[in-house]
Amino acid sequence: MKREPAVKKIGVFTSGGDAPGMNAAIRAVVRACVYNNIEVCGIYRGYQGMVENEIQQMHVRSVSRILSQGGTILKSSRSKDFRTKEGRAIAYANLKAHGIDALVAIGGDGTFTGAEVFEKEYDIPTIGVPGTIDNDLYGTDSTIGYDTACNVITDCIDKIRDTASSHNRLFFVEVMGRDSGFLALRAGIASGAIAVMLPEEKRSIEDLVAILEEGAANNKTSSVVIVAEGESYGGANEVARQVKERYDKYDTKVTILGHIQRGGSPSNYDRCLASMMGVHAVEALIYGERNKMVAMVNNSMVLVPFEVAISKRSEIDSEMRRIAQVISI
C-alpha cells in the first residue's frame, strides 16, 4: 500500500564524474516519483544548474529509452559557485521557486559533501545515490558504474594482450583510480596481469622487477602490468621508465586507457543496481529520511549517513590481493 509522501516535489541531479548507470538511476527516481504521486524535476549540470536555475519538470516519457545509455542526460559539472554561501543561497531560492522540497543527489563523495552542507544550512532533505566508477564510497558493496568500468577495462586489456603476445612485449596499462585501486585490482585478476600497482600498496620498482624476472624464468614471453593512476610513482609512464632502466628484456609499451573507462552502455548489473537505488532513494524521502546515502550491503538496500560515507574510504579486499598474487605466477 502506498504511503502518503512526506514530500511533494523532488529534484534529481547528477554531479561530479559521470558513470555508466546514472541514467538508469535518473529513470528509476522519476518513475518512482510518478508511481507515488510526487512531482519531480530534473536539475541540469548538477549544483551549477541549481545555482543557474536550469531546472525542468520531468515525467515518465522524459526518461524513455535512456536505460542503456552511458553518461547522464542531466549533464554534470563541478560547481565553484555552490561552494560559496552566496551560491548556495541562490540555489536554495531557485529550488523554492520551483516548489522543490527534497533532493536525490547522484554522484560521489564531493556530491555528498555538498549535499550535507546544503542540508545543514537550509534543512532540505537529501538522499544520495552512489554513482562513481572508483567504487570508493564507504558503506556500500558497489557503486553505480563500477561493474561496467571493470568490464570495459578487461575488454581493452584482452585486446592489448593479443599484441603483447605477438611481439614479446611488456605493457603497462594505466587505469583510473586516483585514490582507490578497486578498478586496477579487479581488472588485474580478470585479465591475468602479472602485477598490479595500487595507491594502497607501496610496491617498489625493485619488487616489480623481481616479479618480472620470475615470470621470465617461468617462460613468460609477454606480460601486462596494471597501474592505478594514483599509485605512488605517478602513473604508468613513470613506472615503465624506471622498470626499463633496470630490466630491458621486453619491448616496453604504455597504454593509458583514460576516459574510455567511463563510457559505454551500462552492464546488466549496473542497470539493476541503479534502478534499485533510485527507487529506494525516493522511498527513503517518502518515509522522512534525510542526509543519507542508499547503499547495497550483502544484496540488501540500507541507508548510510553522508558523514560516514564521506569520512571513510572503502578498503581493498585483502583476500582479492592474495588471490591476485597467487594466480599471477
Q: Are 165 and 222 spatial neighbours (Cβ–Cβ below 8 Å)? A: yes
The number of C-alpha atoms within 13 Å of 137 and in the hemisphere containing its C-beta is 34
Element (H, E) at 174: strand 169-175
Q: Are 309 and 109 spatial neighbours (Cβ–Cβ below 8 Å)? A: yes
* Of 214, 213, 177, residue with least CA distance to 198: 177
Q: What is the DSSP letter of 317?
A: P
DSSP per position, 109-128: HHHHHHHHHHHHHH---EEE
Any idea which residue has 549533464 for its cell? 75
Q: Are 14 and 46 spatial neighbours (Cβ–Cβ below 8 Å)? A: yes
134 noted as active-site residue: yes
Q: Residue 14 pairs with which residues in a beta bridge? A: 106
Element (H, E) at 167: helix 146-167
* Of 144, 123, 127, residue with least CA distance to 135: 144
Any idea which residue has 523554492 for its cell? 96
What would you report as the CA-atom Rg of the chain, rounded to the nearest whole angstrom?
A: 22
Q: Are 96 and 119 spatial neighbours (Cβ–Cβ below 8 Å)? A: no
Q: Please identify which of the residues 18, 101, 134, 147 carries the catalytic annotation.
A: 134
| Residues ≥6 apart with Cβ < 8 Å to 143 | 19, 108, 130, 131, 132, 133, 134, 135, 136, 137
d(C-alpha 27, C-alpha 12), whole Å = 10
| Residues ≥6 apart with Cβ < 8 Å to 161 | 171, 191, 192, 222, 224
Catalytic residues: 134
